[in-house]
Amino acid sequence: MRAVSLFRERFGGEPDGVWLAPGRANLMGEHTDYNEGFVLPFALGQGVTAAASRNPDRAGRRLTVCSRQEPGDTVEVDLDGLAPGRVTGWAAYPAGVAWALEAAGHRLPGACIAIDSDVPAGAGLSSSAALECATALALTSLAGLDVPRAELVTIARRAENEFAGVPTGIMDQSASLLCRAGHALLLDCRTLETSQVPFDPAAGGAGLLLINTRARHELADGEYGRRRAECEEAARRLGIRSLRDLTDLADTGSLTDPVLRRRVRHVFTDNQRVLEVVALLRASPGPSPGPSADTYREIGRLLTQAHASLRDDFEVSWPEADAAVEAAVGAGAYGARMIGGGFGGSVLALVPAAAAGPGSGPGSGPGSGPGSGPVRDAVTAAFARHGWTAPEFLDAVPSDSARQLSG
């Protein structure tokens, strides 16, 4: 395990344990979280691994972290002096988790943590939450604490929002800590109620392909804030607490601003699409034989519809995502859409197993490489035509949440 070899290299000796927290993809429900609506993420097979041990021989309680993905950079922080703003860069995520755990009354020992990951960072697959959740499991286990998962979700989110200063919703940490293999997680962002929805495409002759467009457009952060403000303004003008409370699009007649009307239409229809996908999956005979090709075709149609809504109504898509969706659907995908906040990151495509090519099944990795299978070929060719950096393909298999691997 590469996290363990990094641990030996940097800290000497063996770690007390190894923990893994997955990245996530969101099947449906984008920009619905901060409108108190629904999201439907699933955990990926790809994740962040933390090899860690208590650090008892030093004076004071120090947290020392290093990452295979941040070479040369070992960061040491004093647990007693932690406060938002004191740690910058990638170490703000693990340090923020320690800070949020202590703020919640959980006393931690000093620790050394070596990180490795196969979730590409900044690709909209939530490497940041995976890093937080792997750290949270490692630190609480080393401290001998048994903190309920629901509380860890809140703690990891606080680390991201308040310590690292990234204003995100509750979805990413919930997915990393609460998902189950072969399921997606229906999360009600108002009540924080969750439920498991059977979702195992491989069992039904389908596959999920992630296309990292490798694009990151500068406007991402500013536009995200603007969309949030627009949604709040629309809710205010409609006289409702949040857009979640809209029960009929016909009730938006009083909203005259065409931009706000489009934003509202996206949030409303995307919430509905989440519930439609859940209904389709729950109506299927499971676990075996699982949903039929017709069910996947219907979910695919909803995915592509969601992409159009994000592109035209919410206006957060980007050229590489539009091209990837068009090429994937043209080559036989059931459907595809951009995932994440927008203006960069990844596209999720639901494909018949045959169209994904080798590498789309469970247990197979991206090692089978791009260029195999008509969907990958078509997307690769479209990117080449535009002169864009070749996309990266990852197989997405709904997987288990964060867990201890050894120790």
Please tell me whether residue 128 binds Mg ion under the rule CB under 5 A: yes
Segment interacting with ligand ADP (CB under 6 A) among 118-126, 241-249, 288-296, 317-325 = 118-126
Residues in 54-73 that interact with ligand ADP by CB under 6 A: 67, 69-70
Q: Which of 116, 172, 313, 322 is catalytic?
A: 172
| Cβ proximity to Mg ion, 128 vs 242, nearer residue | 128
CA dist 208 and 216 (Å) reads: 22
Least distance from ligand ADP to the Cβ atom of residue 129, Å: 6
| Cβ proximity to ligand ADP, 4 vs 121, nearer residue | 121
Which of 201, 208, 192, 141 has the alpha carbon at shortest distance from 346? Answer: 208
Q: Which long-range contacts (CB under 8 A, 24 or more apart) does 290-297 make?
A: 290/198, 290/200, 290/203, 290/204, 291/204, 292/204, 293/204, 293/205, 293/206, 293/352, 295/204, 296/201, 296/204, 296/206, 296/334, 296/350, 296/352, 297/334
| Cβ proximity to Mg ion, 126 vs 304, nearer residue | 126
Please tell me whether residue 117 binds ligand ADP under the rule CB under 6 A: yes
Q: Is 16 a catalytic residue?
A: no
Number of residues that bind Mg ion (CB under 5 A): 2
How many CA atoms lie less than 13 Å away from 272 in the CB half-sphere?
Answer: 14
Site mask, ligand ADP, residues 15-44, x = CB under 6 A? ------------------------------
CA dist 93 and 109 (Å) reads: 18
| Cβ proximity to ligand ADP, 24 vs 244, nearer residue | 24
| Cβ proximity to ligand ADP, 35 vs 117, nearer residue | 117
Which of 158, 154, 153, 136 has the alpha carbon at shortest distance from 19? Answer: 136
How many CA atoms lie less than 13 Å away from 29 in the CB half-sphere?
Answer: 31
Residues in 22-51 that interact with Mg ion by CB under 5 A: none
Least distance from ligand ADP to the Cβ atom of residue 378, Å: 25
Number of residues that bind ligand ADP (CB under 6 A): 17
Binds 264: which of Mg ion, ligand ADP, none (CB < 5-8 Å by kind): none
Cβ pair 20, 134 in contact under 8 A? yes
DSSP string, 45-80: EEEEEEEEEE-TTSSS-EEEEEETTEEEEEEEEEGG
What residues are annotated to the active site? Answer: 172
List interacting residues with ligand ADP (CB under 6 A): 48, 67, 69-70, 90, 93, 115, 117, 121-128, 131
